[in-house]
Structure 1
Amino acid sequence: MKKKLFVGALIASSMMACAVAETAITTVNPNNIQESFYNPYLMKARKIVAKMTLDEKIGQMIVPTTTIMIPNPEDAKYLESLSDDKLIKKFGLDKIKKYHIGSILVGGNDVPFDANDPSLKMWQKIARLAKSQYSGPKGTELLLGTDEVHGNQHVIGSPLFPQNIGLGATHNPKLVKEAAKMTAAGTLESGFNWVYAPTVAIAHDYRWGRTYESFSQNPDIVKSMAYNFVEGLQATQNNHITGALATVKHFIGDGRTVNGLDEGNTEIDNIDELWAVDGAGYRGAIDANVGSLMPSYSSLNGIPMHYGGDKDLLQRITTTGIAGYKFEGIVVSDYAAISKAQAKYNMLNKDSQISFIDSLSMSINSGVDMIMLGIFNTAIPNHYPKDFLGEQSKDINSLYTHQNKTPWPKTLEGYNYSNDVDMLKAIKFAIEQKRIPMSRIDDAVTRIIAVKLAMKSKMKPVDNKQVQKASLKAAEQSLVLLKNDNKTLPVDPSDIKNVVLIGDYDDIGKQNGGWTVLWQGFTGNQWWLPGSEAKKHSGAMSYIDGLKNNFSKDTNFITKLNKDDKDNLSKNNTIALVVLSEKPYAEYHGDVDNNSPLYADEYKKPQSKFLGLKFTKKQAKEIKKLKALGIPIITVVQSGRPLVITDGNDKAPLQNSNAMIAAWLPGTSGGQAVANVITGSYKLKSFKTKINGKEYYSNTLPFAWPKNMEEVRSHNYSLFQEGYGLEN
């Protein structure tokens, strides 16, 4: 199903839907849990909004990044030397008061300035200065948003949890709630109060680069995890959000796109099926009174979700509701999404091009309350309306050179539209031109103020030891034993004199994957150097670290085989650990085997046509020698999704291993967790629970596993089924 969109019809549709929103917000449904939570705040907010000026209202609707507020990375050197007043002006934070800005965010690559000092102290100071400039209504606070995909990832030294796919493998909702609670504590301690999590997508195609953000293929599991994540993060007490504000995302169908194309198109005729399956996480989050929701970059049946998607689903969830579920909180756009939607629309509709003002108007009229700005927030220059009297900002290329990144692909290239003042003008212009009715602006700001009134965040000091303990517990319960021939595992450490190490056994960056310090993550241990305070505070353990903790100090750890080793190594005194990893990635950078327009001009190519891992030629040669000596091969597959592990004869990991562990992306404690499984100090499948009446165990697959690339493309997975997992 492919639809060609026509701008006139779409704008008319968004204006008509806006009229529905004006009346629906006053309708009270006593059976709707979330409405009963937010309704008192909505009533107060309406009275407040009625007294606000237009400039004050518009200021609440934009979310600029710290990169926009503080565009010069070298200014970080002034943090300690300048007074607060001078820093506020130097960093542009005085604009918060001047333009009545209600929120700012830390983008994926905004942390820190050139990634030199992402310290807790630095973020606390920036947050304090920003909050001091907030001039919004009494009883509300500045929202400071950040991506905390698997822990307080922007502060070096923070313990990090497994990515969502690993949390899904725990099948332990209470553990997920605890992880979210600790993430909220770290976020609040940093000075921030709004988290862009959880992702509740169900990944239907493993070629999708965000598969690891998905908890499970099972809607019941996803619903339960979403509910508990929001409960833990927001910590609602006495009808107030005392933790950090949660954001359920990306509404809806982001994990169901054709060929797993990130930001692509979801094609489905049966919208009821979409809601029943892919809507499960939203049902769980709404049940937990989630305060904000983010639409997807993707489209539904050809209509961008930021324009409401097919059947106006974004409008429906925020007005009349879907199957009894109605969202009453803030709808915030994704990063630079308004411009992305415009650019994609224009690529698909050559005969009916739209302007940025059109895109902005359609998004707000379709239910978007807050516009997130980013340095990629571009609009094609030729499509600025001639009557818009805004000054075009600098070209995106010059704005992004300080981060040494390749410019945005030419298909999406244009002039930067992320300047906060320009965006304020654009919204005001659209109102003056009657493209956005004032009733919709009031509705949006009412939602924003209502959620802020509900927030009474309480910051408490974070006990890193407790977070480390929870991180290790989560990592242990996330590991899935795929193969264990002749009970290779566990091994008795007292029997082992030699441990041969091959592959990524000492790479904490790869253990964590994307969204670690920066958007795309890192390889190596640069943020967790031996003896550093960051490693100590995080409790980060690579595989060699964990094994050294569990084996005798006299054990030989061999990282390079020599000719004489065969005389000292035997099946009775030696094991070999091989660690295979996907390289870290986030979003479309992890897409495999699809042709995304985001890869235009070689900005970024798909990682491979092959969604799988093999031993390298050198590794296969070493493994063959070890097998000839009868030494057991224990392979750890470190990945953000199920991968093909059966290809390549001597290079095929599954066939050439005696034992195999799917470790996912286990976080900073992953090395210790795997060591505990190898030596038996942690027993797999030790946790059992019931979700929606069905029994589940920890350490079992949240997704079925493919045998080959044909199964990846057909979505028919036969190697291991969901729920599979062996005991050690």
Structure 2
Amino acid sequence: MTHQPLLPRPGSGRRAAGVLLAAATLLGAALPASAARAEPATGPDAAAAARTPRYLDPRLPTAERVRDLLGRMTLEEKIGQMTQAERGSVDADPTRIAALNLGSLLSGGGSTPTPNTPAAWADMVDGYQRQALTTRLHIPLLYGVDSVHGHGNLAGATVFPHNIGMGATRDPGLVAEEEHITATETRATGPQWVFAPCVCVTRDERWGRAYESFGENPALVSRMTTAVDGFQGTRRSDLARPDRVLATVKHFAGDGDTTYGTSTTGDYRIDRGVTVTSHRRFDAVDLAPYVTAVQAHHVGSIMPSYSSVQWTDVPGSGPVRMSASKELLTDVLKRKIGFDGFLISDWDAITELPGDFATQVRTSVNAGMDMFMQPYDAPQFEQALSAEVQAGRVPMSRIDDAVSRILRAKFDLGLFEHPYTDRTNIDSVGSSAHRAVARRAVAESQVLLKNDHHALPLAPSQRIYVAGVNADDLGNQAGGWTLTWQGQSGNTAFPGTTILQGIRNAAPNVTYSADAAAPTTGYDVGIVVIGETPYAEGLGDVGVGGHTLELSTTDRANIDRVCSAISTCIVLDVAGRPQIVTGQLPAADAFVMSWLPGSEGDGVADVLFGKRPFTGRLPVTWPRSEAQEPINIGDPQYDPLFPYGFGLTTRGRTTSAQLG
């Protein structure tokens, strides 16, 4: 896409720069970032410019600017940079941003301005930024959001397929293009930092975050780390552009490889569980994508997992939470792999560590954590860390290392020169051009698993009967992390095209019956859309929150009714992971895994009607029964319903198998 030049930021023109320059000089304080953008001054302004701190000189190397700024900071100011709060904790009194010297804010899932529009987002973030710039050193704020399949908190943003569907495309270039669009839409509305992409390797589909993974094969996930380039660009200087954001690979490491078992609350739990493994296997399966993300793509931040690791090759080893593992955060990630960005903890993650709060803070900082997501207890965190440093239990060198990493990101993002939102691309949010890329991603993600009797592609002239709630529900086809943390069913929350609408756009003679209760006579083709309703994280774990790999009673009944009554029957599965369809598969002439396609149901119709060929391949193994989990390519006695990499391709009326 064509990139337009930067527009002036609010309050950053030459007149504003001169006013801020004079004010900073009178206060004896460092100059705000916008002042450094002014043209060479004369008269009184020239004398003031001569006293401009070196960290505000954009001509200097970033490392030198970081050193200069770090040398001017108090302990309280440094600890503030290590603290991230949820916007809800400061919204009623934004002056708390300056009072706490906060380095960062975030919007959790569903945390949005009112109204939830691009302009309101930009105004909100700029308002918080103005507060940050009132501090003594005028250090700008870094604002983070979970843009995991588009700018998901924003109503009207382009909603892409979740990562599991993108893994099915086997298209790293498309993944980078998707994330470039997401970066453009995110930064145009204020946030400069995204908690994405997830490069976990999912090894058990009972895990409630399986759809956030590109797949079960670490080689495939590593290929898809091109997502980092889509977000950040390929050069460090790209980060300052209005179409780029700082990326975060997560959740380091092994969160998709945890052991399924009973939690302390007595229910079955795999999210936030324990990865029981050897160092060698951990390196090969769980760590590999992070090595690629760091060494090939230079990702700017990494989020450690809630999960723990227990080494099978260390006698007497017990589980160690990732947020407490100096071995993995510092010795492996920072020193051995060479990660020079900063680590951000997950939501309130350190409170799951052993000990009291002071012990939790001390343990995680000393392990190597740099910034702490403390949504609603930022003051307590800052007080605890300050006391630990003053008591000598956290060395000042560790604080300086953490703050240096955070400041480097802010300089690279150009926030000291351009602290406010560049709205150049704000009109591109949810644009037809962006949605066209999402539609193509949907089409490439579809995996054709069965196609007897040339059932697909369909002809527009055929009389078509469509059944199933998921055929006409945008919320269900978008899944979790869409407007809210858990996502939500329904068609009113965001613009898009349901699968049913896509089918109707392709064919004139379509009847829809959500429960398959309407008469089925007189139709050439029946399409049954089955699948899941939205969920996120542990609420999607099998045995928790009512979710399971088994089909619902309603879905099974719809398949039985439609496929027994109409001569050609096609089943589409809209879900974040494989479901158990062994008993229903014989009834269908064609079976398509549609994953969680997002806002563009037309992309599903494109392959159903042959406008685009089926090319997708399974990024995970499809089990015959839930009892087979965990099942992954390379396992002994590997006997799935469909193997990893399987997918039928179509070219006109010709269907062929592929595996890989």
2:273–2:308 Cα contact (<8 Å) kept? yes
2:433 pairs with 454, 466, 491, which one?
466
Which runs of structure 2 are paired with 1:699-718 in the superposition (5 Å)? 699-713=616-630, 716=638, 718=640
Question: Which residue in the other structure is 1:612 paired with?
Answer: 550
User: Quick one: structure 1 residues 51 and 726, their matched pair in 2 at CA, closer, same or farther if it must change by over 3 Å?
Assistant: same
Question: Which residue in the other structure is 2:526 paired with?
Answer: 576
Letter in 1 for 2:168: A
Task: Report whether the alignment pairs 1:51 with 2:18.
Answer: no
- Write out per-residue CA displacement over residues 641-686 of structure 1, whole angstroms, 9 at most, x where no aligned residue: 122111xxxxx331221111101101101x212211221111112x
User: Quick one: structure 1 residues 454 and 559, their matched pair in 2 at CA, closer, same or farther if it must change by over 3 Å?
Assistant: closer
CA distance in 2, matches of 1:431, 1:274: 33
CA distance in 2, matches of 1:654, 1:139: 62
1:266 pairs with 251, 271, 275, which one?
275
Which runs of structure 2 are paired with 1:300-449 in the superposition (5 Å)? 300-301=309-310, 302-308=319-325, 312-321=327-336, 325-341=337-353, 345=354, 354-374=355-375, 418-449=376-407
Question: Which residue in the other structure is 2:596 paired with?
Answer: 665
Question: Which residue in the other structure is 1:235 paired with?
Answer: 233
CA distance in 2, matches of 1:225, 1:161: 15
Letter in 1 for 2:489: T
User: Quick one: structure 1 residues 560 and 45, their matched pair in 2 at CA, closer, same or farther if it must change by over 3 Å?
Assistant: closer
Deviation at 1:99, TM superposition (A): 2.4
Per the alignment, in what secondary structure is the counterpart of residue 585 of structure 1?
Answer: coil
1:277 pairs with 275, 285, 292, which one?
285
CA distance in 2, matches of 1:357, 1:622: 55
Per the alignment, in what secondary structure is the counterpart of residue 149 of structure 2?
Answer: coil
User: Quick one: structure 1 residues 714 and 215, their matched pair in 2 at CA, closer, same or farther if it must change by over 3 Å?
Assistant: closer
Task: State TM-score, norm by structure 1.
Answer: 0.73
Deviation at 1:47, TM superposition (A): 3.0
Task: State TM-score, norm by structure 2.
Answer: 0.80
2:619–2:644 Cα contact (<8 Å) kept? yes
2:201–2:213 Cα contact (<8 Å) kept? yes
2:109–2:485 Cα contact (<8 Å) kept? yes
- Write out per-residue CA displacement over residues 8-42 of structure 1, whole angstroms, 9 at most, x where no aligned residue: xxxxxxxxxxxxxxxxxxxxxxxxxxxxxxx9534
1:502 pairs with 451, 461, 468, which one?
468
In structure 2, stretches of 5+ residues that fail to align are 1-59, 261-268, 311-318, 416-421, 633-637, 651-660
- Write out per-residue CA displacement over residues 123-173 of structure 1, whole angstroms, 9 at most, x where no aligned residue: 111101011122379796310000011001111111200000001001000
Question: Which residue in the other structure is 1:290 paired with?
Answer: 299
User: Quick one: structure 1 residues 702 and 40, their matched pair in 2 at CA, closer, same or farther if it must change by over 3 Å?
Assistant: farther
User: Quick one: structure 1 residues 278 and 179, their matched pair in 2 at CA, closer, same or farther if it must change by over 3 Å?
Assistant: same
Deviation at 1:612, TM superposition (A): 2.2
Letter in 1 for 2:531: S
Question: Which residue in the other structure is 2:11 paired with?
Answer: none
Question: Which residue in the other structure is 2:132 paired with?
Answer: 134
Per the alignment, in what secondary structure is the counterpart of residue 641 of structure 1?
Answer: coil
Q: Percent identity?
A: 35
Question: Which residue in the other structure is 2:584 paired with?
Answer: 653
Deviation at 1:49, TM superposition (A): 0.7
CA distance in 1, matches of 2:470, 2:94: 43
2:203–2:630 Cα contact (<8 Å) kept? no
Deviation at 1:229, TM superposition (A): 0.6
Alignment RMSD? 2.2
Question: Which residue in the other structure is 1:695 paired with?
Answer: none
Deviation at 1:614, TM superposition (A): 4.7
Deviation at 1:207, TM superposition (A): 0.8
1:615–1:653 Cα contact (<8 Å) kept? no
Per the alignment, in what secondary structure is the counterpart of residue 440 of structure 1?
Answer: helix
Per the alignment, in what secondary structure is the counterpart of residue 72 of structure 2?
Answer: coil
Question: Which residue in the other structure is 2:497 paired with?
Answer: 541
Per the alignment, in what secondary structure is the counterpart of residue 578 of structure 1?
Answer: strand
CA distance in 2, matches of 1:232, 1:455: 15
CA distance in 1, matches of 2:346, 2:439: 32
Deviation at 1:425, TM superposition (A): 1.2
2:196–2:248 Cα contact (<8 Å) kept? yes
User: Quick one: structure 1 residues 209 and 428, their matched pair in 2 at CA, closer, same or farther if it must change by over 3 Å?
Assistant: same
Question: Which residue in the other structure is 2:99 paired with?
Answer: 98
Deviation at 1:250, TM superposition (A): 0.8
Which runs of structure 2 are paired with 1:53-68 in the superposition (5 Å)? 53-68=74-89
CA distance in 2, matches of 1:562, 1:307: 55
Deviation at 1:109, TM superposition (A): 3.5
User: Quick one: structure 1 residues 559 and 143, their matched pair in 2 at CA, closer, same or farther if it must change by over 3 Å?
Assistant: closer
Deviation at 1:236, TM superposition (A): 4.3
- Write out per-residue CA displacement over residues 54-75 of structure 1, whole angstroms, 9 at most, x where no aligned residue: 11111101000012112xxxxx
1:331–1:369 Cα contact (<8 Å) kept? yes
Deviation at 1:503, TM superposition (A): 3.5
Deviation at 1:611, TM superposition (A): 1.8
User: Quick one: structure 1 residues 356 and 632, their matched pair in 2 at CA, closer, same or farther if it must change by over 3 Å?
Assistant: same
1:173–1:224 Cα contact (<8 Å) kept? yes
Deviation at 1:504, TM superposition (A): 1.9
1:294–1:331 Cα contact (<8 Å) kept? yes
1:636 pairs with 569, 572, 591, which one?
572
CA distance in 2, matches of 1:563, 1:295: 51
2:466–2:500 Cα contact (<8 Å) kept? no
Which runs of structure 2 are paired with 1:155-170 in the superposition (5 Å)? 155-170=154-169
Question: Which residue in the other structure is 2:450 paired with?
Answer: 483
Q: How many residues align?
A: 556
Letter in 1 for 2:501: D
Deviation at 1:574, TM superposition (A): 2.1
Per the alignment, in what secondary structure is the counterpart of residue 251 of structure 2?
Answer: strand
